[in-house]
Amino acid sequence: MKLKISTFKEPKHTGVVVCVNWNNTEDVFSCGDDHKLLKWNLVNSECIVVTTFPDDFYPNDMHLFPKINVGGNKHQHDVILISTADGKFHIVNHNGRIEKSVNAHQGACLIAQWSPDGAGLLTAGEDGFVKVWSRNGLLRSTIVQSDVPCFSAVWSPDSSAILHTKGNSLVIKQLNSSNKITKWKAHEGLILCIAWNANNNLILSGSEDGYSKIWDTFGQQISVSVKHDQPITSVSWSPAGDMFVIGSYNLIRLCNSNGWSHCLDRPTTGSIYNVAWSSDGTQLAAACANGHVLFAHIIDRCICIVERAGLSVYSYMGRLLASPRWGARPESLGRAAVSLGPDALAAIDQGDRKLIHVFDLPTGLIVRSSADNTVTKLTHKMTVSSIALSQTGPINERQLALLDYNRDLYVVTVKDSKPKFVKLGSQILSICWSYETELLVGLRASSVVAWCCPRAAMQPDLLALTTVSKDVVDLGRNPTILSVEDGVAHICRGNGSILHLSIAAFPEKLLKHVVANMWQQALQLCRTVEDETLWACLAVLAWQHHQLPVAEEAFALIRQYHQVCYIQHLRSNIPEKLSNN
């Protein structure tokens, strides 16, 4: 994955460009020390001067009102929030007229941001204060009072907390509690920029020490970059949270969510003070010290089902199969929030991340419209961060595995009349189903776990017997399972290298025999290998498929004698019914 960078031949700003922001996927606003507000159209490569502000108007930050459904006149929401060096913030309409100016800080107002829900805004300044204001510019509360300047502050994704810098430390302040504060030392140098992503709930920071780092909300470090020669002046997550970009002096770097670098470019732009992503996550705009606005496109990237207009499912021949709709913003859907199965599509609701929509997909030649898709709604008790649909079996047996924000792993059968979420494990970082069977593999910080029979989750003793775990070292920070084939897990380490680990080769072979209804071959495999995990898997699967002679032998070899006695009772007392099954 690379960046295709372009700039206009001559800079349209005559001074330093301080801030940029996207209006849509075609239009970008920029503002700089030349007091001009410019609007760039990427379709026709035009740039117009929206307005020229007064000579004492020196912007520090700019943020367009979020594209959400809120009450009131639409034109009331076509406004831009700009902070300036004189301690004020200004609400400006898209025609460049200043609707309101508010004295917010003693010294420069360094940060001004609308809340994600559009209900208010925050400002931070050189005086060390962080304040929350109403949408109309009325002061609600002073959240932080510090003796050092606050160079960056951002809202939490749900607008319930504020993350701000304090020297070389990061601080999370909850708005609904005066005492709940999370603070940690993040860098050796002054922290200049931060970002908080809604999809992965991870925090990104950049500092004068030349490092960029990824953190969770508890202050635990997930990843750290190589040391750069110059301070990191800007950081920004992609909307989906699968990539981020950092800017420095004559440098822009694109990384994946683990911090592994996709590409590094060195444009002669001077320092890059601000970077903004388009809503679809395919384009970048950057504010540069030499007066240029730098534009970049993500290339070598395949988008299979998530499009600007919505979610679409295509066959390999390019034929549209379905286009389900449920009122989501598709540009904010990350890869972990969508899962495609052979006959179903699952997606996490971006409005309520405890809710999962599962759409039935056509398997014939008929294309379904958005109204024709049968949808199943599953509600979990916790916020869901990642989902994965099983890839085999009939649709009425389709299983969904999910990770919540506590990193607990649950599995549920989608088409059950009363779906029940059953817990398989905890502290799981990544999950992936096998392409050919119902083998589920999960990744912990220092081990790989394979659940060979997730349907045994209702019986803890059998679940333990059918689970395989293998310790692994040097996985790095935030590793990911890419795929599982023939019992081999393909794992992307934190440094970007690929590890191929054989964890459940024989269980996968057994599961393939069961899928093909080859019970004698499955029995012969277990007798040859003589492994307790294999016998436990065979026992569970044979019982579920009413193969009582096979199940009796398998339960006997794992010393589940109460099951053996029960099967013998069934075979001796109701043989006619069993033979019909």
Asked whether residue 374 carries a pLDDT value surpassing 70, the answer given is yes
Instruction: Give the pLDDT band of residue 366 (cuts 50, 70, 90).
Output: very low
Asked whether residue 211 carries a pLDDT value surpassing 50, the answer given is yes
Q: Give the SS3 label for residue 433.
A: strand
Contact 393, 365 (CB under 8 A): no
CA angle 3, 237, 379 (to 5 degrees): 125
Question: What is the rounded average pLDDT of the residues 489-495?
Answer: 88
Question: What is the rounded average pLDDT of the residues 176-203?
Answer: 89
Task: Give me the pLDDT at residue 88, please.
Answer: 93
Asked whether residue 345 carries a pLDDT value surpassing 90, the answer given is no
Contact 225, 259 (CB under 8 A): yes
Task: Give me the pLDDT at residue 302, please.
Answer: 34
Question: What is the rounded average pLDDT of the residues 383-398?
Answer: 86
β-partners of residue 98 are 92
Contact 487, 438 (CB under 8 A): no
Where do the domains of the chain lie?
Answer: 2-299
User: How many CB atoms neighbour CB 181 within 10 A?
Assistant: 12
Task: Give me the pLDDT at residue 6, please.
Answer: 80
Instruction: Give the pLDDT band of residue 58 (cuts 50, 70, 90).
Output: very high
Least confident of 160-169, 305-314, 439-448: 305-314
Q: Give the SS3 label for residue 533.
A: helix
Percent of the chain past pLDDT 90, that is, above it, reads 51
Q: What is the pLDDT of residues 92-119, one digit of tens each?
A: 998 889 999 999 999 999 999 999 888 8
If one compares 436 and 172, the residue with the highest pLDDT of the two is 172
Question: What is the rounded average pLDDT of the residues 35-48?
Answer: 88
Q: At what angle do helices 505-515 and 532-544 cross, to 10 degrees?
A: 20
Q: What is the pLDDT of residues 518-577, one digit of tens each?
A: 899 999 999 999 999 999 999 999 998 888 889 999 999 988 888 889 888 888 876 555
Contact 553, 542 (CB under 8 A): no
Q: What is the pLDDT of residues 228-282, one digit of tens each?
A: 999 999 999 998 888 999 999 999 999 988 888 888 888 888 999 999 999 888 8
Instruction: Give the pLDDT band of residue 362 (cuts 50, 70, 90).
Output: low
Residues 41, 214: Cα–Cα separation, whole Å: 33
Can you give the pTM of this predicted structure?
Answer: 0.58
Least confident of 152-161, 226-235, 249-258, 355-364: 355-364
Q: Give the SS3 label for residue 536.
A: helix
Got the DSSP string for 121-154? EEEEETTSEEEEEETTS-EEEEEEE-SS----EE
Question: What is the rounded average pLDDT of the residues 70-85?
Answer: 73
Instruction: Give the pLDDT band of residue 338 (cuts 50, 70, 90).
Output: confident
Task: Give me the pLDDT at residue 574, please.
Answer: 67
User: Which helix (H) or strand (E) covers residue 570, if one does?
Assistant: helix 561-573
Phi/psi for 118 (5° steps) reads: 75, 10
Asked whether residue 372 carries a pLDDT value surpassing 50, the answer given is no
Question: What is the rounded average pLDDT of the residues 43-57?
Answer: 89
If one compares 195 and 544, the residue with the highest pLDDT of the two is 195
Instruction: Give the pLDDT band of residue 510 (cuts 50, 70, 90).
Output: very high
Contact 162, 155 (CB under 8 A): yes
What would you measure as the largest C-alpha separation in the chain, in angstroms?
96
Asked whether residue 9 carries a pLDDT value surpassing 80, the answer given is no
Q: Which letter does DSSP use for residue 335 in this model? A: G
Residues 60, 69: Cα–Cα separation, whole Å: 28
Instruction: Give the pLDDT band of residue 191 (cuts 50, 70, 90).
Output: very high
Least confident of 122-126, 367-371, 454-458: 367-371
Task: Give me the pLDDT at residue 12, please.
Answer: 85
Surface-to-core class of residue 98, CB atoms within 10 Å of its CB (0-12 exposed, 13-18 middle, 19+ buried): middle
Percent of the chain past pLDDT 70, that is, above it, reads 90
Task: Give me the pLDDT at residue 327, please.
Answer: 66
Instruction: Give the pLDDT band of residue 317 (cuts 50, 70, 90).
Output: very low
Task: Give me the pLDDT at residue 350, please.
Answer: 81
User: How many CB atoms neighbour CB 403 within 10 A?
Assistant: 22
Distances (CA, A) of 372 to 323, 329, 368, 369, 375: 10, 20, 6, 5, 9
CATH number 3.40.190.100 is the correct assignment for the domain at 2-299: no
Contact 91, 100 (CB under 8 A): yes
Place of tokens 């970049």: 296
Task: Give me the pLDDT at residue 339, please.
Answer: 87
Distances (CA, A) of 503 to 5, 408, 512: 43, 21, 16
β-partners of residue 203 are 196, 215
Residue of 226, 220, 230, 170 lying closest to 195 (CA atoms): 170
Question: What is the rounded average pLDDT of the residues 41-60?
Answer: 89
Task: Give me the pLDDT at residue 303, please.
Answer: 43
Question: What is the rounded average pLDDT of the residues 482-486?
Answer: 89
Q: Which letter does DSSP use for residue 77 in this model? A: G
Residue of 406, 256, 415 lying closest to 341 (CA atoms): 415
Q: What is the pLDDT of residues 414-464, one digit of tens each?
A: 888 888 999 999 999 999 999 888 999 999 988 999 999 988 888 888 888
